[in-house]
């Protein structure tokens, strides 16, 4: 029997099933247009159902796969995925981007599998014994940088953010001191603080205090402070050096209302759709923003808006509670895993799924700019659903084999 009834997490598996079913139902609605008495349904929903069954089948195969073979496959698959990320540049561009291989009407996106394989390989490398913090950060950064650079050239900036969110979570799980994590993310905060000049000294003071509490040497603290001050001060200079159209693109990215008929159109329509749903929604298949095609990408990036329009606040809260239960279960399982590599990998998987969920929902309600990141298990996309499900399957495998191998 390949499932250990005492150790297999049936709760996590059930929550995964519920999310996949929820996603298939919403995709059916998002793929159906109702105008007057005419009903037209695109084939997205049954493609998603096929990938849902495929995903569950792969999870079962993964549970049967011996752990030594699973470990041996990580590096070769990572290398093959890097090659796929290179080969995808030679495929025809879709909407100006090279992201997909088209096989028999099905689009496969290598950047999706790159997330999971990078997490698994980084976890394996940085979890080795007798590896100091500097090497953990260096190896983790280099292994993450390669696929991230290839993906940002596709171009796909949003997906690259997922890699760094997962890396930070894995470094924390690998017991890298928190002051190292602070040093890694401090330049990003310095860039943000440069938006308002008085915020720069306030942020630098906080950084110095936190580093002092970490008992870092004065030399390291001084160097870090100088670097961050330089970054904060050079950012406005860099901004002034941009051309007008480049500045407008960035400003519209941050504030969609600057260009309501162009770059900001999607987020504005998504907010309208969710707001019009009120408490109970307009009803199944009755979303006017979706049916009248005002809401673009409503079966992928903005599927949460379809849920809000048709099922209102109640429907949105139901999905959010389901996600909360799912992520709390993943976090709970971190404490159940004693093998360092598996714990680090699970932290990375949890972080990348949580980050994607937060960004997508935040994008739909206007809290964050549109980045093209799909909602895990809910948005239409075979590659996305398959890889996310396998990622959860990896966690289920780790839990199922507790005590069998070191």
pLDDT at site 87 = 92
Lowest mean pLDDT among 55-59, 164-168, 381-385: 381-385
Answer whether residue 325 shows pLDDT above 60: yes
Using CA atoms, how far apart are residues 377 and 22, in angstroms rounded to an integer? 8
Name 217's Cβ contacts closer than 8 Å, sequence gap at least 6.
Answer: none
pLDDT at site 393 = 96
Pick the more confident residue, 30 or 57. 57
Produce one character per residue of 37-71: b if its CB has 16 or more CB atoms within 10 Å, e if not: eeeeeeebbebbbebbeebbeebeebbeeeeeeee
Using CA atoms, how far apart are residues 387 and 120, in angstroms rounded to an integer? 13
pLDDT at site 42 = 80
Asked if residue 21 is part of any domain, the answer here is yes
pLDDT at site 253 = 64
Burial category of 153 from C-beta neighbours within 10 Å (exposed 0-12, middle 13-18, buried 19 and up) = middle
pLDDT at site 406 = 45
The answer to whether 326 and 15 are in contact (CB under 8 A) is: yes
Q: Where are the alpha helices (DSSP H) in 153-302?
A: 157-173, 178-193, 199-213, 218-241, 244-254, 265-276, 288-291
Look at residue 276 and give its three-state secondary structure. helix
Query: DSSP class of residue 97?
Result: B
Condensed to tens digits (0 to 9), the pLDDT of residues 332-379 reads 999 889 899 999 999 999 999 999 999 999 988 888 877 778 999 999
pLDDT at site 245 = 58
Answer whether residue 209 shows pLDDT above 90: yes
Answer whether residue 64 shows pLDDT above 80: yes
Averaged over 27-55, what is the pLDDT? 86
Condensed to tens digits (0 to 9), the pLDDT of residues 120-177 reads 999 999 999 888 888 999 999 999 999 999 998 887 878 888 999 999 999 999 999 9
Locus of tokens 């029997």: 1
The phi and psi torsions of 102 (rounded to 5 degrees) equal -100, 115
Asked if residue 154 is part of any domain, the answer here is yes
Condensed to tens digits (0 to 9), the pLDDT of residues 72-119 reads 999 999 999 999 999 998 888 776 777 878 776 677 789 999 999 999
∠ CA 135-137-140, rounded to 5°: 100
Answer whether residue 297 shows pLDDT above 80: no
Name the CA radius of gyration of the chain, rounded. 22
Using CA atoms, how far apart are residues 375 and 180, in angstroms rounded to an integer? 31
The alpha carbon of 152 is separated from its chain's Cα centroid by a whole number of angstroms, namely 14
Using CA atoms, how far apart are residues 392 and 19, in angstroms rounded to an integer? 12
Name 296's Cβ contacts closer than 8 Å, sequence gap at least 6.
Answer: 265, 266, 269, 302
State what percent of residues in the chain have pLDDT above 70: 94
Condensed to tens digits (0 to 9), the pLDDT of residues 246-268 reads 566 567 666 777 777 666 777 88
Using CA atoms, how far apart are residues 335 and 318, in angstroms rounded to an integer? 27
pLDDT at site 405 = 46
pLDDT at site 2 = 67
Asked if residue 198 is part of any domain, the answer here is no
Using CA atoms, how far apart are residues 122 and 119, in angstroms rounded to an integer? 5
Cis before residue 155, ω within 30 degrees of 0? yes
pLDDT at site 104 = 67
Pick the more confident residue, 296 or 169. 169
- Give the residue among 264, 249, 246 at the shortest CA–CA distance from 370: 264
The answer to whether 78 and 121 are in contact (CB under 8 A) is: yes
Number of compact structural domains in the chain: 1
Using CA atoms, how far apart are residues 107 and 191, in angstroms rounded to an integer? 37
Mean pLDDT of the chain: 87
Domain residues for 301?
10-175+251-400
- Strand locations in 14-121, DSSP E? 32-35, 38-41, 101-103, 106-108
Asked if residue 135 is part of any domain, the answer here is yes
pLDDT at site 290 = 81
Asked if residue 76 is part of any domain, the answer here is yes
């Amino acid at each position: 029997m390949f499932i250990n009834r005492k150790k297999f997490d049936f709760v996590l598996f059930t929550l995964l099933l519920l999310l996949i079913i929820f996603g298939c139902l919403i995709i059916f609605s998002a793929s159906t247009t109702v105008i007057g008495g005419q009903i037209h349904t695109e084939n997205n929903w049954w493609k998603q159902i096929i990938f849902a069954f495929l995903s569950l089948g792969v999870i079962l195969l993964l549970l049967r796969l011996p752990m030594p073979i699973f470990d041996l496959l990580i590096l070769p698959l990572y290398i093959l995925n890097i090659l796929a990320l290179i080969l995808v540049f030679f495929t025809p561009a879709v909407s100006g981007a090279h992201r997909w291989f088209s096989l028999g009407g099905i689009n496969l996106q290598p950047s999706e599998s790159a997330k999971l394989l990078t997490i698994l390989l980084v976890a394996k490398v940085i979890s080795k014994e007798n590896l100091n913090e500097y090497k953990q950060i260096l190896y983790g950064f280099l292994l993450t940088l390669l696929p991230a650079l290839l993906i940002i050239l596709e171009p796909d900036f949003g997906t690259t953010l997922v890699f760094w969110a997962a890396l930070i979570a894995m470094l924390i799980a690998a017991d890298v001191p928190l002051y190292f994590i602070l040093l890694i993310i401090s330049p990003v905060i310095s860039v943000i603080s440069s938006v308002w000049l008085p915020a720069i000294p306030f942020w630098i003071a906080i950084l110095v205090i936190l580093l002092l509490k970490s008992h870092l040497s004065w030399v390291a603290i001084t160097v870090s402070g100088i670097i961050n001050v330089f970054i904060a001060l050079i950012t406005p200079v860099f901004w002034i050096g941009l051309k007008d159209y480049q500045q407008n693109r960035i400003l519209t990215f941050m504030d969609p209302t600057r260009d309501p008929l162009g770059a900001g159109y999607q987020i504005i329509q998504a907010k309208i759709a969710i707001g019009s749903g009120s408490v109970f929604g307009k009803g199944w298949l009755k979303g006017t923003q979706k049916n009248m095609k005002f809401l673009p990408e409503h079966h992928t990036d903005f599927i949460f808006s379809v849920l809000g329009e048709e099922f209102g606040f109640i429907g949105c809260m139901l999905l959010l509670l389901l996600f909360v239960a799912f992520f709390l279960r993943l976090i709970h399982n971190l404490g159940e895993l004693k093998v360092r590599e598996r714990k680090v990998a699970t932290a990375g998987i949890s972080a990348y799924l949580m980050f994607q969920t937060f960004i997508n929902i935040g994008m739909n309600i206007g809290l964050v700019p549109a980045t093209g990141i799909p909602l895990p298990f809910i948005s239409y996309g075979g590659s996305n659903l398959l890889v996310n499900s396998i990622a959860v399957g990896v966690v289920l495998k780790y839990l199922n084999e507790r005590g069998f191998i070191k």
